[in-house]
Amino acid sequence: MFVRPLRRLLGRPLAVSYFHTTPTSWASRKVIKKFNLADIGEGITECEVIKWNVKPQASVQAFDTLLEVQSDKASVEITSPFEGTVKELLVQEGEIAKVGSGLCLIETEEETTEEQESPSPVQEKPAPAAEQPKVTPVETLPPSLPLSDTPFTPRRPHPLDPSNKSSEHKSSRPDLVLAAPSVRHLARQMGIDLGLLVPGSGKNGRIERNDVEAALAARNQAGAKESVSQASQLPQAEDVVVELGRTRYGMWKAMVKSLEIPHFGYSTTLDITSLHDLLPVLNAHIPPHYLPEHARPPAPISVNPSAIYPAPSSQPVPKSQQYTRLTYLPFLIKTLSKAMIEWPLFRSSLTPSSSTSTDTSKPSLTVRPNADIAVALSTPTGLYTPTLQSANTHTIYSLAAQLKYLSHLGRQVPCGLTPKEMPKRGGTITVSNIGAIGAGDFASPVLVPGGGVAIVAIGRAKWAWDVDGDNEHGQRRLKLGVSWSGDHRIVEGAELAAFVECWRSYVEHPQRLIGEGI
């Protein structure tokens, strides 16, 4: 019964079939990528990191803002080129980053493909017709054929594969090894080169924490032996090179330019005894809106000042401008502004020669209608000179609030001062309150280009026995040393001395402010 099917089978052309399929399986692996500071142009080689918008372990998308950097010319926001998780910040806020150096480490996922081939029937090859009759069926095995149509390329062994003989030549590049971010951080702190630990004890040659600790122990043991052999030699400290930050470098350039200005110095003492006696009265009557919530006096319950008509109310003051006591500085600035109104020369600033002028080398003066006074402010990030604009229009209380606000912005890291508090043209007189730090009486302040026509350093107020007054036996008075430096290209010595005497008449007789309506 099997003769007919067998004949049919033998009468057909002999066919051999081979099958080939390549199913692709997708997988992903996590990779740590270092994000470097790119060249932002204009010949800039370094930038200061002003603010990080992300923290370690934060997820970021491509084009999300990572940080803000500032150079000598501009402030730039830098976005993320990767999508992943921020593992480590390599440069902290306030530090300098070189172009091409790493800013942070970002863990990303990369897709990989793994080809798996298996034979399957895809083609038929007919046998020649001459071989068709009377062929005895035998078991035929397919010849060895390539699994794909493309030429076979041997897979390159992984550098961390333990079976890779080339891995014996250990790399000194830590960025080419497999290690967790925590292990990289530990190795960086301990000064261990991960490239010298390849392959590690982990899976696929991954370097584990115990590998780093073992290398550290070996290094410490070698160092102990070396220290024993060199016990007679005393260790010598090495010099450390520290680069200037952006703010301090700006101060360096300004001080170099200050050598172009011929300075005229003038020092004297002010008697602030009357001001000292007046200060408790002023502190006892600080307007309530300048006081913190806990220091405000309770409102009267039985009497309402707005019973007939709404009484005028002051604008609310932010907490950063509130205070509980006055100091001498707001009063000194207020009286200085009064003297500046009487002396237009000290409300002027040097103006570069314009293109319409016939003599291009002849400068001019611009006299301002109000007294703009800059205040030297020492902050954790450097020296700044914010400006109290139109100080003559402020009260002593509002000047104290402005000074408190500028101090609040300066204490922030990074510095919170903006171009609003630091206009480009600045003040015409700068005040430096060095007495708030040291016990010095006098100083030699330096005037920089664009810093106005004069600068004054205020020392520490001290009680002294004064025998120059009307009392022939002398009396105890509170004296304040002040040191002036003027731009001698604009201000004459006699003019600076007369201006200081005008200021003295307000400081030593504060009752004048009452007659002039403050």
Q: Which two tokens stand for residue 432?
A: 């430096």
**Domains in the chain, number:** 3
Q: Which residue from 207, 152, 162 is spatially nearest to 181, judged by alpha carbons?
A: 207
The Cα–Cα gap between 421 and 389 comes to: 9
Count of CA atoms in the C-beta half-sphere (13 A) of 408: 12
Domain stops at, among 57, 84, 108: 108
- Residue 124, in any domain of the structure: no
> What local confidence, expressed as pLDDT, does residue 290 receive?
93
Rg for the chain, CA atoms, rounded: 40
The maximal CA–CA distance of the chain, rounded, in angstroms, is: 152
State the virtual CA torsion across 134, 138, 144, 146 in degrees, nearest 10.
Answer: 60
Q: Verify that 280 and 198 share a domain, yes or no.
A: no
pTM tops 0.75: no
Q: Verify that 418 and 282 share a domain, yes or no.
A: yes
Tell me if 323 sits within 8 A of 288, measured CB to CB. no
For position 203, which CATH number holds? 4.10.320.10
Q: Which two tokens stand for residue 294?
A: 């806990």
The Cα–Cα gap between 510 and 331 comes to: 9
For position 325, which CATH number holds? 3.30.559.10
- Residue 94, in any domain of the structure: yes
Q: Verify that 281 and 368 share a domain, yes or no.
A: yes
The strand pairing partners of 455, in sequence order, are 430, 485
- Residue 165, in any domain of the structure: no
Q: 517 φ, ψ to 5°? A: 70, 20
Residue found by looking up tokens 């990303």 in the block: 108
Residue found by looking up tokens 């003040």 in the block: 427
The strand pairing partners of 122, in sequence order, are none
Q: Verify that 340 and 476 share a domain, yes or no.
A: yes
Count of CB atoms situated within 10 Å of the CB of 466 = 16
Q: Verify that 326 and 217 share a domain, yes or no.
A: no
Domain extent for 186: 176-224
Q: Which residue from 92, 74, 72 is spatially nearest to 246, judged by alpha carbons?
A: 72
Q: Verify that 215 and 270 share a domain, yes or no.
A: no
Q: Verify that 272 and 341 share a domain, yes or no.
A: yes
Domain stops at, among 89, 108, 127: 108
Q: How far is CA 292 from CA 275, 316, 395, in A?
A: 25, 11, 19
**Any residues with CB less than 8 A from the CB of 396 and at least 6 apart, and which?**
282, 326, 330, 331, 334, 518
Q: What angle do CA 238, 240, 241 make, to 5 degrees?
A: 145
Q: How far is CA 221 from CA 170, 192, 380, in A?
A: 22, 14, 41
Tell me if 459 sits within 8 A of 437, measured CB to CB. no
**E strand or H helix at 405:** helix 396-411
Tell me if 93 sits within 8 A of 51, measured CB to CB. yes
Q: Which residue from 103, 58, 100, 101 is spatially nearest to 77, judged by alpha carbons?
A: 103
Q: Verify that 53 and 99 share a domain, yes or no.
A: yes
Full 3-state SS string of 155-193: CCCCCCCCCCHHHHCCCCCHHHCCECHHHHHHHHHHCCC
Beta strands in 22-141 (DSSP E): 24-36, 46-52, 59-60, 65-70, 75-79, 84-89, 96-98, 102-115, 118-126
> What local confidence, expressed as pLDDT, does residue 145 receive?
42
- Residue 374, in any domain of the structure: yes
- Residue 42, in any domain of the structure: yes
DSSP labels, 298-341: PPPSS--TTSSSPPP-PPP--GGG--S---HHHHHHHHHHHHHH
Q: Which residue from 356, 414, 359 is spatially nearest to 384, judged by alpha carbons?
A: 414
Q: Verify that 184 and 99 share a domain, yes or no.
A: no
Tell me if 35 sits within 8 A of 69, measured CB to CB. no
Q: Which two tokens stand for residue 378?
A: 């020492």
- Residue 164, in any domain of the structure: no
For position 38, which CATH number holds? 2.40.50.100
> What local confidence, expressed as pLDDT, does residue 41 receive?
63
Between helix 396-411 and helix 328-342 the angle, nearest 10°, is: 120
The Cα–Cα gap between 249 and 255 comes to: 10
- List per-block mean pLDDT (blocks of 10 residues) for the chain, which spans 518 residues: 49 49 60 83 75 90 86 75 89 85 88 51 45 43 43 46 45 61 78 77 79 81 64 69 83 88 94 94 92 84 81 86 94 96 94 60 89 92 91 95 94 86 91 87 89 93 86 87 94 95 95 81
> What local confidence, expressed as pLDDT, does residue 98 receive?
85
Q: 181 φ, ψ to 5°? A: -55, -35
- Residue 128, in any domain of the structure: no
**E strand or H helix at 250:** helix 246-258
In total, the chain counts a number of residues equal to 518
Q: Verify that 435 and 380 share a domain, yes or no.
A: yes
Tell me if 85 sits within 8 A of 59, measured CB to CB. yes
> What local confidence, expressed as pLDDT, does residue 69 receive?
84
Domain stops at, among 64, 88, 108: 108
Q: Verify that 448 and 495 share a domain, yes or no.
A: yes
3-state SS, residue 60? strand
Q: Which residue from 347, 327, 336, 312 is spatially nearest to 431, judged by alpha carbons?
A: 336
The Cα–Cα gap between 224 and 257 comes to: 53
Q: Verify that 284 and 419 share a domain, yes or no.
A: yes
Q: Which two tokens stand for residue 221?
A: 């043991």
Tell me if 443 sits within 8 A of 434, measured CB to CB. yes
- Residue 419, in any domain of the structure: yes
